[in-house]
Structure 1
Amino acid sequence: MVQLYADVLLMIMLELQDDISSLHSCVLVNKSWSRIAVFFLWKYISRINEITYSRDRDSRVKLYKVIANFLPIESENLLINNNIILPSYKLPRKPTFEYMNYFTQITPYWIRDMVQLFIKEDSTHKKNLLETQIYNLIFVNCKNINHFHLNTDIEFYKFPSVGSFFLNLQSLLINFDNNNMVTSKTLFELATICQNIKTLEVFYCNEDSKGLALFIEMQHNLRSLFLNFIDNKNKYPLLSNVVKEKAATLKTLMTTPLIDPGSFLSLINLQHLELINHDGDEPYNCYKNVDWKQWEDCLDKASFPNLRIFEATLIPSSIECLIIEKSDKSIIEIDICCSREFQDYRAKNLNLIIIISKYCPNLRSLNLDIDPGNLCEINRIFSNCTVLEKLSFNINVSTLSDDGDNLLEIISNKSPLSLREFSGDDWNFSKDGLEAFFNCWKCKKRNPIKFTHRYMDLWHDDQKNVVSKYMKEGVIKL
């Protein structure tokens, strides 16, 4: 029974792991609850992003005092000798928990926040010194890190304990933002001690970095790679070549079309591909200097027999169609956001619908931009994609489409019995259209459907009442 009790507690904490207020309450129940809740509480803290650290200053100061309590005496003396006096932080006795071991991720956000809160004066030297000691503390005391976010100019690779810290690290995010704090020298050094990364994310890359290319090359079992570029004038041959070299192990690739399409000729083991044709900071600003003819020529020779998930944002339809055709009918999930700026959008959108219906018989999830003029053509998808479970059709315009009732009628009459979820954020649905859809669903005794709409809170009461009615009857599930 004791083991069962612990298992039940663990299940409770798993449900509450993103609810920090409830986790705080669990800590106060008793020792058994506290022991498990504290672990999840610190795990939550280690995942906090940049935005969250702008809130609740007092709580953050208390947190940082606990962290500072673990600074070794050498660090304390070094800080004192440099006139860095931290807030009173010494606990009356040894902490009940080894809190630093509960960190599972390290991000630079809380480290910089801690430095800013503890050092009020405008002294770069003092702030760098404290930041250095915090990183040293992390490398010595944090034994369970599975993800590290690198965005610092601290020469951490010189620390004695850094080798063991990075030896078994499997997930790394390299962020070149913030005035290129991560240099090629840092990556050259890191490549000698960190070679077991399975998941690598690179953000704001603005040069064909030799250090980054070498670091990627040195990874023994790289399975997932995300490359985000901000300089669309470069061609990045070094990084393109290293992608080719890692083709044997790569299962997931998320990148922009700035990479050489020749890299894709070797990616036969790829299971998840995402192509993003825009600057992350400007989501509708497509890259202008991409040679799409070269892409078509390369993809025509490529093969993706293991591809399961395909995502594309603002990529020409011809490129999307080629990738789907080369997938050996293995794709189970598609998420495509089209650009209406491409010429002959409606005709190309129709061709994409035809290609999906023809080459994706095992499709389970589809999120697709669709021209309202092609609405009647989605029957093709329903006829051939007979195991479809999740569906979302978008129209990629600023105003909602009034063809929503027609869409609902097609879905209720033609969609496969496997469909469990539908999202129609870009469509207007009338009260009568909703009533007809859900009543048809009910009469056919189909499985409950998860029905979502981004603007449902703005609907008229009669529309909301229809949804509420069929939710109570079990036709709609949450």
Structure 2
Amino acid sequence: MVQLYADILLLIMLELQDDMSSLHSCALVNRSWSQIAVIFLWKYISRINEITYNRDRDSRIKLYKTIANFLPIESENLLINNNIILPSYKLPRKPTFEYMNYFTQITPYWIRDMVQIFIKEDSIHKKNILETQIYNLIFINCKNINHFHLNTDLEIYKFPSVGSFFLNLQSLLINFDNNNMVTSKTLFELANICQNIKTLEVFYCNEDSKGLASFIEMQHNLRSLFLNFIDNKNKYPLLSNVVKEKAATLNTLMTTPLIDPGTFLNLTNLQHLELINHDGNEPYNCYKNVDWKQWEVCLEKASFPNLRIFEATLIPCNIECLIIERTDKSIIEIDICCSREFQDYQAKNLNLIIIISKNCPLLKSLNLDIDPGNLCEINRIFSNCTQLEKLSFNINVSTLSDDGDYLLELISNKSPSSLREFSGDDWNFSKDGLEAFFNCWKCKKRNPIKFTHRYMDLWADDQKNVISKYIKEGVIKL
């Protein structure tokens, strides 16, 4: 009975794991609830990033005071000797839980925020000292970290406990933002103590870093690699070569076309490939010095027999087609948006539709830009991709298409019975078109469909009424 009670509490906390307010309330119920809720609460706190960090200042101060209770006596003395007086933080007794041990991720955002809140004066020296002691606390106390976000200019490889901390770390994000804070020297040194990374993400890389290349080379079992470059003018031969060397273990690669396309001749074990033709800061600002002819030559010789997921943003249609053709008809998910075409877009888009229909019989999820002039051609996909479950068609223009009703008619009459979800964000649908679509779906007794549109809140009442009607009838699922 005791175990059953604990299991039920665990299920409750799993359901609430992304709701910090509810987790906090659960932790106050009684000791039994607290013992489980506190674990999830601090796991949530450890996932804080720049986007989700929206709690009020008083709550953050309370959190940081709790963390400060775990500072070792040596750190406390060092802070005092440097005239760094933290706000009153000592609890009347030792904390009930080893809260820091519940952290599963470390991001720099709360560390910087803690420093800024505790040191109000504009002293870089004092702020560096406190930041150093916080990282020292993390390396000593956090025993269950599975993901670490590296974005600091501190020489973290010199910390006494850093070896054991990084020894078994399996997921690492290296962020070169903020004036190359992570130095090549740091990465060279970390390569000697951190060699078991399975998932590596690299953001804002602006040089062919020897330290980064060495770090990647030293990983024994690298499975997933994300490489984001921001410098259009640079070439990256060192990083391209080290990616080739990791071909035996890599099954996921997300990168930009600034990487040497010859790299792909070795990547026969890839299961997930994503090509992104922008640096992330300007989503539609493509890299200007990409030799697409060289990409064609290399891809014609490449092979991706194990590829299951293919994603592309601002990549030319012919490159997308080549990659799909070089698979062993194994793709189950395609996400292609904003194909980079300036001439003959309709013809090139049609060829992409044909290539997908011929080479992706196992396709389950498709997100694709489509020229309205090619709408009648999507029957090819419906006829050959008979396992399709999730569908989204977009338009590579800035205005919504008025061909939405025709698209709904094609989907209701021609799509495979496996279809469960449709997103039509770029299309206008009339009230009559919606009514005809859902009534047809209902009459054919097809499985409920998840139907989404980003502008649904702005629809007219008669359109919204159609949606409400078929939600009640169970035709549309939420």
CA distance in 2, matches of 1:54, 1:210: 37
Gaps of 5+ in 2: none
The Cα shift of 1:87 comes to 0.7
- The answer on whether the counterparts of 1:340 and 1:396 sit within 8 Å (CA) in structure 2 is no
Q: How many residues align?
A: 478
Q: Deviation of residue 396 (structure 1)? A: 2.5
Q: Does 1:10 align with 2:10?
A: yes
Three-state SS of the structure 2 residue aligned to 1:435 is: helix
**How far apart, CA to CA, are the structure 1 residues paired with 2:207 and 2:248?**
25
User: Deviation per CA, 1:323-345, whole angstroms, max 9, x where unpaired?
Assistant: 00011100000000133643211
Shift of 1:370: 0.3
> 5 Å matches for 1:111-150?
111-150=111-150
Distance 1:360 1:86 in 2: 61
Structure 1: unaligned runs, 5 residues or longer: none
Partners of 1:313 and 1:463 lie apart in 2 by: 32
Q: Residues of 1 paired with 2:330 and 2:285: CA distance?
A: 31
Q: Assess if the C-alpha contact under 8 Å between 2:316 and 2:341 holds in 1.
A: no
TM superposition shift of 1:37: 1.0
Q: What displacement does 1:31 show?
A: 1.4
Residues in 1 aligned to 2:475 and 2:310: alpha-carbon distance in whole angstroms = 31
Contact 1:53/1:113 (8 A) holds in 2: no
Which residue in the other structure is 1:68 paired with? Answer: 68
Distance in 2, Cα, partners of 1:401 & 1:6: 54
Correspondence for 1:344: 344
Q: Secondary structure of 2:300's partner? A: helix
The question of whether the paired residues in 1 share the 8 Å contact of 2:317 and 2:339 is answered with no
CA distance in 2, matches of 1:382, 1:4: 48
Instruction: Give the C-alpha shift of residue 183 in structure 1.
Output: 0.4
Deviation at 1:278, TM superposition (A): 1.0
Give distance in 2, aligned partners of 1:141 and 1:25: 26
Q: Is the 8 A contact 1:69 1:91 kept in 2?
A: yes
Would you say 1:105 and 2:121 are equivalent positions? no
Rounded to whole Å, the distance in 2 between the matches of 1:6 and 1:401 is 54
Q: Do 1:316 and 1:338's aligned partners in 2 also have CA atoms closer than 8 Å?
A: no
Q: Deviations over 1:206-229 (max 9, x none)?
A: 000000000000000000000000
Deviation digits for residues 308-328 of structure 1 (CA, Å, limit 9, x no counterpart): 000000100000000000111
- Residue 52 of structure 1 deviates from its aligned partner by 3.5
Identical positions, percent:
92
Structure 1 residue 5, shift from structure 2 partner: 2.0
Q: Is the 8 A contact 1:425 1:454 kept in 2?
A: yes
CA-CA distance at 1:235 after TM superposition: 1.4
**TM-score when scaled to structure 2?**
0.99
Q: Deviations over 1:396-439 (max 9, x none)?
A: 32211100000000000000000000000000000000000000
Mapped pair 1:323 → 2:328? no
Determine if contact 1:200/1:224 at 8 Å carries over to the other structure.
yes
Shift of 1:54: 5.0
The whole-number CA distance in structure 1 between the counterparts of 2:340 and 2:156 is 47
CA-to-aligned-CA distance 1:376-408 (integer Å, 9 cap, x gap): 000000000000000000003221110000000
| SS of residue matched to 1:54 | coil
Shift of 1:49: 1.0
> 1:421 and 1:259 mapped to 2: Cα distance?
35
Are the counterparts in 1 of residues 317 and 341 from structure 2 also a CA contact under 8 Å?
no
> Aligned with 1:53: secondary structure?
coil
Alpha-carbon distance in 1 for matches of 2:295, 2:340: 20
Q: Secondary structure at the match of 1:128?
A: helix
Report how far residue 2 of structure 1 moved. 2.1
Structure 2 Cα separation of the partners of residues 402 and 461 of structure 1 = 19
Q: Equivalent residue of 2:12, what SS?
A: helix
Q: What's the CA shift string for 1:37-78, capped at 9, x where partnerless?
A: 111111111111113435400000000000000000000000
Deviation at 1:25, TM superposition (A): 1.3
Q: Does the 8 Å contact 1:271/1:308 carry over to 2?
A: yes
- The residue aligned with 1:261 is 261
SS in 1 for 2:303: coil
| Backbone CA RMSD of aligned residues | 0.8
The C-alpha deviation readout for 1:172-229, integer Å capped at 9, x for no partner, is 0000001111000000000000000000000000000000000000000000000000
> Counterparts of 2:97 and 2:396 in 1: how far apart (Å)?
51
Once the two structures are superposed, residues 226-270 of structure 1 have per-residue CA deviations (whole angstroms, 9 ceiling, x without a partner) of: 000000111100000000000000000000000000000010100
Deviations 1:137-167 (A, max 9, x none): 0000000000000000111111110000000
Secondary structure, aligned partner of 2:53: helix
Question: In structure 2, what is the equivalent of residue 186 of structure 1?
Answer: 186
Give 3-state SS (helix, strand or coil) of 1:321's partner. helix
CA contact (8 A) 1:316 1:342 kept: no
- Distance across 2 between alignment mates of 1:131 and 1:259: 35
Task: Point out the more displaced range, 275-284 or 52-61.
Answer: 52-61
Partners in 2 of 1:52 and 1:265 — Cα distance? 40
Q: Contact 2:333–2:364 at 8 Å: present in 1 too?
A: yes
Describe the superposition over 1:112-143 as per-residue Cα deviations: whole angstroms up to 9, x where unpaired: 00000000111111000000000000000000
Q: TM (normalized to structure 1)?
A: 0.99
Contact 2:316–2:340 at 8 Å: present in 1 too? no
